Structure 1
């Protein structure tokens, strides 16, 4: 994790209560996700290298992160020519993400051992809405921010299962995911969306 990413992570830690506070003040209590208080906190950071690799960490609410203790690493996206490798915290490959289809940049597939794991599709001209179709499981709809100060949401069957926001810079996405749904495959999809959003 380079110094730029560390500084972003530190700032993200200082702002970790922002989302919960905004939900408390701006959203009716009945509309807040019931799982929010029990969810783990994750953050994705885009490195300073030219290829824009992405790392995903988790840290308990209240846990401070620093260059020496950046939280618990979950996975890493390593861009290569025409593909992105998904690696676990120990550097073992968990999948490969490639563009698929006639029109580039619209449909992406993550595969593992020759089998598709999920398909991610862009559903809006401004690349704000995406659908994630796992090979086994519910279809997700993601609304990524159009402006950097807007929120990030992920829903399944119309119900919020992921909430988050951008900041304090565009290189950092901070998010909470409903317990039991925070798989590496889902985190890889969100980290990949972060990278595409950053580069768009």
Structure 2
């Protein structure tokens, strides 16, 4: 009888640990706007709010990552028809060091049809003892499942806020076309590189 009780207690403890692990993390899919370099596998997210239309995440570097350039968390809000992102990060390119900012705002026709994104980028750069800054804005249209891509983001905190987001906002983050054979990234490189190049010319 004692052994049976011990076995049941061990089983209960094991199940409790398993359920706790399952409840502590989840994976959602985030729109990839094609202006990109930051790998999602270097990132971890936290659900910080939302409503029936969209869910908001705070996204930061994974603990121990040596390649993640973020200086503070990215804010991402995503729903079935909308995506916004705001990020600040450090960068080194062409011998210059600086800080970049990017704001991306997308209207999504459907998860795999069309995403039209407005992107604003700023860069403050130090190069050979001189400092300069520049900014630019661009508009990008992605069409079809080959271009409207989603990347997997591991969410490790704030999972209780999915309930506040409602079924539409929460579900929207977990559906859509996966970025098949695409490195996991977030919108940064193309526009940021252009902004830095412009800063170096000024």
Same fold (TM over 0.5): no
Larger strand fraction of residues: 2
TM-score normalised to structure 1 length: 0.33
Larger radius of gyration: 2
Structure with the greater relative contact order (CA < 8 A, sep ≥ 6): 1 or 2? 2
